[in-house]
Homo-oligomer: A and B are copies of this chain.
Amino acid sequence: MTRIDSTPLSSTPRARLGRYPDRARVDRSDLHAVLDAGIVCHLGVVVDGAPLVLPTGYGRIGDVLYLHGSSAATSLRAADAEPVCVTVTLVDGIVYARSVFSHSVNYRCAVVHGRARRVDDDTEKLAGLRALAEHMAPGSWDHAREPTRRELAATLLLAVDTTEASVKVRTGPPGDEDDDIAGATCWAGVLPVTTAWGEPQPCPQLAAGVQVPGYVADRP
Q: Which residues of A contact B (CB under 8 A)?
A: 14, 18-19, 39-40, 42-55, 57, 69-70, 72-74, 83-87, 89, 91, 93-94, 96-101, 103, 105, 107, 109, 111, 113, 129, 133, 136-137, 140-141, 143-148, 151, 155, 173-174, 176, 180-181, 183-207, 210-213, 216, 219
Contact = CB atoms under 8 A, between A and B. Distances in A.
B53 A137 contact: no
B210 A89 contact: no
Contacts of A183: 207
Contact of A100 (B85, B145, B211): B145
A91 B204 CA distance: 21
17 contacts: A14-B48, A18-B74, A40-B107, A44-B44, A49-B83, A53-B111, A96-B137, A99-B147, A103-B140, A173-B201, A184-B207, A186-B210, A189-B206, A191-B200, A191-B201, A193-B197, A195-B195
Nearest to A152: B101
Contact of A194 (B72, B98, B129, B195): B195
Nearest to A196: B194
A212 B191 CA distance: 10
A113 B219 contact: no
B85 A53 contact: yes
